[in-house]
Amino acid sequence: MTSLADKLVPESVKKLIPYQSARRIARGMTNKQDHLWLNANELETCCQYGDEKQGVNSHYNRYPDFLPFDIAAAYRDYCEQFQLDSKNEDGRLNANVEIMAVRGADEAIDLLVRAFCQPGNDQILVCPPTYGMYEFCADSMGVKTAVVPLTAEFQLNLPQIEAELENTSIVFLCSPNNPTGNTLYSQDLLALLESTKDQSLVVVDEAYIEFAPQTSVLHLMAQYPHLIVVRTLSKAFGLAAIRVGFLIADQSVMSYVARLVAPYPIADPSAEIALKALDSAGLIQMKAQTDSLIEIRDWFSYEVSQLSIVDKVYPSCTNFVLIRFKGSNNFYEYLLNKGIVARSPANESTVKGCVRISIGSASSMNKTLQVLKEYT
C-alpha cells in the first residue's frame, strides 16, 4: 500500500542508496572480535591523550555505531513508561513506530524538511509565534513556508490551516510551544490529524513535553501514521551540550529519513551520557529536577505577575515564562544592562515587546525578580 510518505517524498530522495558505513557490515555478526577491522581507515591502536586518569578514553579510535540503536531502544522504553505514567494505558508504542537518535531535535527538523520537501515545489506550514528553526530549515533549502499565525489565545487557526494544505508537505507544530509556553488543544490536534491524513505530514515538536507529560500525542501515533514526534534531551534532561534528540515516526516515514541521516550521528561520549540519563536512576533524577523547576517557575511567575510594571505572565507548561510588560519600554535591554540575558521573541505582533525568561536556579530567579522590582 502506498503511504503518504511515499506520495510526498521527492524522486531524488526515493532514488538515494543509503551510504554504506564501515559499521553497517558489523551489524548482526556474532563473532566480531575474531575479525581484523581494517575497513574504516581508523587507527587500530588505542590512543591516550592527557594523563591516565583524566585522559581521553582509549576506545575512541573506532567510529561509533552507524545509527545508535541502543539509545533508540532506551528511549523507546522511556516513551513506553512515559505513556503508562501519563495516560494509564497499555504504554506500548505501535510496532510500526520507529525511533531514531539524532544530533538534537534541530537535526530531526532539518532531516524531515530535506526528506519530504522539494525546493521550489513544496512548502511547509508553521503557526507563529513558534520555534524559528522550522522556517529557517525551509529557507535554507529554498522550500517555501506558509504562515498561519496562532489565534489570540495561542491556539491553532484550523480553517486557515486547512485552506493552506494543498502544497504543504509538512505542518510543523510545537506543543508545549516556544515562545508562548502553552500547549495546543488536543481536540484541535485531532481535527488537524484527520484533515491532513491524505495530504501532509504533521510534526509535533515535544521538546518541552516532560513539563506537561499528559499532553503528549505519542499515543496517537498508532492511529495516525502521518504524525511525527520530535523530542530532545536538551530541556528537562538538562543535556543541551551533548546534542541528542529523537525522531519518532512511522516506519514508512523513517525509511526515507534514514537515507539522509549523516553516518555516525552520535559521538560516543554523547551516547554514553544519553544512556546514563535514560536508565532508571537517570530518569528519577530528571523527574526530581523537573518537579523542582516547576516549583521555582510557578513561584517566579506569581511574584513577577504582582509587579506594577507587568501586564501579564503567560501560563507556562515549559521551563521558561513569557512576560508582557506595560508600556513600550524595552525590558529585554533593561535586563541585559543588569547582566541578565533573556530573550525577546521575534517580531510576531502577538508577542511584540514580550520577554521570554528561562527558569534557572532559585537564586538566579530571585536575582531576576529583585532586578525587575528595582525598575523605576
Ligand X SMILES: Cc1ncc(COP(=O)(O)O)c(C=O)c1O
Per rule CB under 6 A, is residue 106 in the interface with ligand X? Answer: yes
Instruction: Point out which span in 9-17, 41-49, 102-110, 112-120 binds ligand X (CB under 6 A).
Output: 102-110
- Smallest separation, CB 303 to ligand X (Å): 24
Write the burial class of residue 91 (CB in 10 Å: 0-12 exposed, 13-18 middle, 19+ buried).
middle
Spatial distance between the Cα atoms of 204 and 368, rounded to a whole number of angstroms: 32
Identify residues 213-232 at the interface with ligand X (CB under 6 A).
232
Count of residues that interact with ligand X, criterion CB under 6 A: 12
Build a one-symbol-per-residue string for 231-260: x at contacts with ligand X by CB under 6 A, - elsewhere: -x-x-----x----x---------------
- Smallest separation, CB 187 to ligand X (Å): 22
CA 154 to chain centre: 19
Opening angle at CA 132, ends 242 and 241, nearest 5: 10
All 3 cell numbers of residue 152? 489570540
Instruction: Point out which span in 99-107, 281-289, 294-302, 327-335 binds ligand X (CB under 6 A).
Output: 99-107
For cell 525546493, name the residue.
Answer: 119
Listed residue (232, 229, 160) closest to 201, CA to CA:
229
Per rule CB under 6 A, is residue 104 in the interface with ligand X? Answer: yes
C-alpha torsion sign, points 85, 87, 90, 91:
negative
Of 21, 145, 175, 178, the residue at the interface with ligand X (CB under 6 A) is 178
- Smallest separation, CB 361 to ligand X (Å): 19
- Smallest separation, CB 240 to ligand X (Å): 5
Strands 310-313 and 245-250: unpaired
- Smallest separation, CB 52 to ligand X (Å): 33
Which residues touch 78 (CB under 8 Å, ≥6 apart)? 278, 283
Build a one-symbol-per-residue string for 122-161: x at contacts with ligand X by CB under 6 A, - elsewhere: ---------x------------------------------
CB neighbourhood size of 240 (10 A): 12
CB neighbourhood size of 364 (10 A): 15
Which residues partner with 249 through β-bridges?
A: 98
Q: Is the link from the previous residue into 179 a cis peptide, with omega within 30 of 0? A: yes
Beta strands, E only, the chain: 97-102, 123-126, 144-147, 168-174, 201-205, 227-232, 245-250, 310-313, 320-325, 355-358
- Smallest separation, CB 244 to ligand X (Å): 7
Residue nearer to ligand X on the CB measure, 168 or 318: 318
The residue at minimum Cβ distance from ligand X is 104
Instruction: Point out which span in 14-22, 50-58, 104-112, 152-160 binds ligand X (CB under 6 A).
Output: 104-112
Radius of gyration of the chain (CA): 22
- Smallest separation, CB 108 to ligand X (Å): 8
Per rule CB under 6 A, is residue 293 in the interface with ligand X? Answer: no
Beta strands, E only, 108-163: 123-126, 144-147
Residue nearer to ligand X on the CB measure, 239 or 372: 239
Per rule CB under 6 A, is residue 319 in the interface with ligand X? Answer: no
Which residues touch 240 (CB under 8 Å, ≥6 apart)? 234
- Smallest separation, CB 136 to ligand X (Å): 11
Per rule CB under 6 A, is residue 183 in the interface with ligand X? Answer: no
Residue nearer to ligand X on the CB measure, 40 or 241: 241
- Smallest separation, CB 184 to ligand X (Å): 12
Residue nearer to ligand X on the CB measure, 37 or 264: 264
Residue nearer to ligand X on the CB measure, 64 or 129: 129
- Residue ranges that bind ligand X, judged by CB under 6 A: 104-106, 131, 174, 178, 205, 207, 232, 234, 240, 245
